[in-house]
Amino acid sequence: MHGDGSVPLKRLLDRRDLGLRAVVLPEGEPPSVRWAAVSELRDPAPYLIGGELVLTAGVNMSTAADDLEAYVSGLVRAGAGALGFGVTPVFDEVPPELVERCAAHGLALLEVARSTPFVAVGRAVGALVEEGRVEEVRRVSEAHRALVRSVTAAAPDERVLATLAGALGCWAVLLDGQGAGPRLTAASPPRALGAEVAELAERLRRPRGPRSAKAVLGGDEVFLHAVGEPPREQGVVVLGRPTPLDMAERAVLGTAVALLGLLSRGASAAVPGPLLCRLLLDGAGAPDLAPMVAPLAGRPPSPESGPADTAPDTFRVIHAVRAGRGPAPAPADAAAALGTELADPGTPGGEAPLRAIVADRADGAASRGEGHTEALDALYRRGWLGAMSRAVEVADLPEADREAAALLFRARAAARPLMAREREDPLEAAIDPAAAGRAATALLGPLAEETESAAMLRETLRAWLARNGNWDRTATDLGAHRNSVRYRVGRIERDLGIDLSDPEQRMRMWFAVTRMPGTGQG
């Protein structure tokens, strides 16, 4: 299948069951079609959008030279891919005058046998288009997977560039951020990229410059994309090939650019799953990586869904910690139980929880949380106490990460797995998030500052409130001595001028620590 979703006409002609015969095949690029359209209008051109195999039995066709010229030239202007002429009952053969006009205008002409219904031709075109689309999904999915796994190579950035060049059938160059020339190359690029490419690359390196550009170099179309984010030094990846990139190929390029940007920050030591998990959860959202998330998070690409289909894939974030005092459970075991490769194991001592991204279920049970509750219970039996966010799209995974972190506090206090509410909470609906954030910042006072000390006190306050003031459990959750917890809580009371034995003050502080901007809701 071609990048525009069309299929070569030759594949239709190869279907012996259809009995199609090529009468005119123009020279040059082989013709292709995207769908079939049956029309007996004298002038069907106004009703075409391009790429059609127009099927007619010539019911209203005039064989006058001027009429046929208008008919064929109209199809060509409308972008029709080919014309299929059904012989009998009106004509016993394809009119020679029509053959002449199609040859003159370079329009492919097929003879459709009397025994072949037009609907069979239409179904065959649709089946070939769908077959090509499924193959495209498979090819693109393999390209994304190959790119992700390239980061484990000894020279990951070099491997990513080579994988990109192989997947897109192009040459590739990675320019450094100083304008000193190529840092890496793949698939034999030109010796000189030319002044136009150099000028565009310089524009892409600017902090407020564009992120991508196109140029022409010799017989190739050239695509440039900035790598990395300001204020860090930005490189530029340059690709070239004779044909444009289609949408799926641009998605592959986006994945490669995101990975090269990540590698430029020194993240090459991690394996793909943890690396991507951190990239998706700790950044400002990484929609460029969306095509690779579904298969790695436990959902294979669905060939049954059409291009205009539907709702985008959604995912959930899980935070989990050890559920008891026994031997530490293996993070790999937890990831396997969840059916995902996108898992960040956290730290062995438990200071940072295990985090994982799982695909949302596509059945009715998902909206009720049934399948995900079972997953949390299965984790618990394996020694992990977990909390799960609501379903979100890829761009919103950082927010889901904060929600799961907030829920984990409550899960530890309740000593049972927790899952975010799917139904709207009427109390939450009545609270304006922006106003709540401002109120939380005001209530926390010095604890809202962006300092290490303030962050430690906020974490202590939240853990202590979630444990209903239990010193020992709070100390266990924080990995601190109970006397340290007592000191911190006393300091919080002094700094804020409050008495945390007052339930009203506890309620106000819980509101503040769960609604301070960037912390997620509890």
What burial class does residue 75 get, using C-beta atoms within 10 Å of its C-beta: 0-12 exposed, 13-18 middle, 19+ buried?
A: buried
Q: Which residues contact 222 (CB under 8 A, 6 or more apart)?
A: 193, 197, 214, 215, 216, 238, 239, 240
Least confident segment among 10-14, 197-201, 296-300: 296-300
Residue 389, by phi and psi: left (phi above 0), alpha (psi -120 to 50) or beta?
beta
pLDDT band of residue 457 (cuts 50, 70, 90) is very high
The pair phi, psi for residue 176, each rounded to 5°, is -80, 180
The pLDDT score that the predictor gives to residue 387 is 92
Give residue-wise pLDDT tens across range 332-360: 888 888 888 888 887 655 567 899 999 88
- Structural tokens at position 158: 């070099």
Run of H or E including 131: helix 118-150
Domain boundary (112, 128, 144) is at 128
User: How many Cβ atoms sit within 10 Å of the Cβ of residue 77?
Assistant: 11
> What amino acid is encoded at 108 in this protein?
A
Q: Is the pLDDT of residue 1 over 90?
A: no
Domain that holds residue 196: 152-269
Average the pLDDT over 468-483 and give the result: 86
Average the pLDDT over 434-451 and give the result: 88
Beta bridge partners of 362: none
Q: Give the CATH number, domain containing residue 72.
A: 3.40.1390.20
Contact, 382 vs 334, CB < 8 A? yes
Q: Is the pLDDT of residue 444 over 80?
A: yes
- Of residues 149 and 441, more confidently modeled: 441
Average the pLDDT over 190-213 and give the result: 89
Among the ranges 279-293, 452-466, 508-522, which has the highest mean pLDDT value? 452-466
Domain boundary (400, 423, 446) is at 423
Q: How many Å apart are CA 316 and CA 390, to the nearest integer?
A: 6
264 and 170: one domain? yes
Order across the sheet with 235-241: list the strands.
182-186, 171-175, 235-241, 220-227, 212-217
Q: What percent of the chain has pLDDT over 90?
A: 41
315 and 419: one domain? yes
Average the pLDDT over 145-162 and give the result: 82
Average the pLDDT over 160-186 and give the result: 87
120 and 225: one domain? no
Domain boundary (396, 423, 450) is at 423
400 and 505: one domain? no
The pair phi, psi for residue 116, each rounded to 5°, is -105, 110
Contact, 159 vs 172, CB < 8 A? no
Contact, 167 vs 252, CB < 8 A? yes
11 and 124: one domain? yes
18 and 116: one domain? yes
Least confident segment among 109-113, 344-348, 375-379, 506-510: 344-348
The pLDDT score that the predictor gives to residue 350 is 53
- Of residues 127 and 421, more confidently modeled: 127
Least confident segment among 7-16, 205-214, 472-481, 512-521: 512-521
Considering its fold, how many domains does the chain have in total?
4
Give residue-wise pLDDT tens across range 247-302: 788 888 988 888 888 777 665 444 467 777 877 887 655 666 666 677 778 764 44
Least confident segment among 137-141, 179-183, 203-207, 386-390: 179-183
Q: Give the CATH number, domain containing residue 450.
A: 1.10.10.2840
Residue 41, by phi and psi: left (phi above 0), alpha (psi -120 to 50) or beta?
beta
Nearest to 440 by CA among 409, 461, 469, 464: 461
13 and 124: one domain? yes
- Mean pLDDT of the residues in the chain: 84
Q: What percent of the chain has pLDDT over 70?
A: 85
Among the ranges 175-189, 274-288, 372-386, which has the highest mean pLDDT value? 372-386
294 and 382: one domain? yes
The pLDDT score that the predictor gives to residue 422 is 63
Q: Is the pLDDT of residue 304 over 50?
A: no
Q: How many Å apart are CA 357 and CA 285, to the nearest integer?
A: 13
Average the pLDDT over 150-174 and give the result: 88
Domain membership of residue 135 (yes or no) is: no
Contact, 313 vs 359, CB < 8 A? yes
Supply the pTM of this predicted model: 0.51
299 and 390: one domain? yes
Q: Is the pLDDT of residue 312 over 70?
A: no
- For 291-294, which contacts have Cβ atoms below 8 Å and span 24 or more sequence positions? 291/140, 291/141, 291/144, 291/251, 291/252, 291/255, 292/141, 292/144, 292/145, 292/147, 292/148, 292/255, 293/342, 293/357, 293/394, 294/359
Q: How many Å apart are CA 63 and CA 101, to the nearest integer?
A: 11
The pLDDT score that the predictor gives to residue 308 is 37
Q: Is the pLDDT of residue 194 over 60?
A: yes
Domain membership of residue 199 (yes or no) is: yes
Q: How many Å apart are CA 357 and CA 286, to the nearest integer?
A: 14
Domain membership of residue 248 (yes or no) is: yes
User: How many Cβ atoms sit within 10 Å of the Cβ of residue 412?
Assistant: 22
Q: How many Å apart are CA 72 and CA 58, to the nearest integer?
A: 13
Domain membership of residue 280 (yes or no) is: no
Q: Which residues contact 289 (CB under 8 A, 6 or more apart)?
A: 254, 255, 258, 276, 279, 280, 394
Q: Which residues contact 490 (CB under 8 A, 6 or more apart)?
A: none
Q: Give the CATH number, domain containing residue 165.
A: 3.30.450.30
418 and 431: one domain? no
Domain membership of residue 43 (yes or no) is: yes
Contact, 404 vs 410, CB < 8 A? no
Nearest to 2 by CA among 28, 24, 33: 33
Domain membership of residue 433 (yes or no) is: yes
Domain membership of residue 61 (yes or no) is: yes
Give residue-wise pLDDT tens across range 215-238: 999 899 999 999 877 656 678 999
Domain membership of residue 521 (yes or no) is: no
Give residue-wise pLDDT tens across range 54-74: 999 999 999 999 999 999 999
56 and 21: one domain? yes
Average the pLDDT over 444-456 and give the result: 88
Contact, 168 vs 239, CB < 8 A? yes
Question: 476 by DSSP, 3-state: which?
Answer: helix
11 and 122: one domain? yes
- Structural tokens at position 304: 């049954």
Q: How many Å apart are CA 160 and CA 292, to the nearest integer?
A: 15
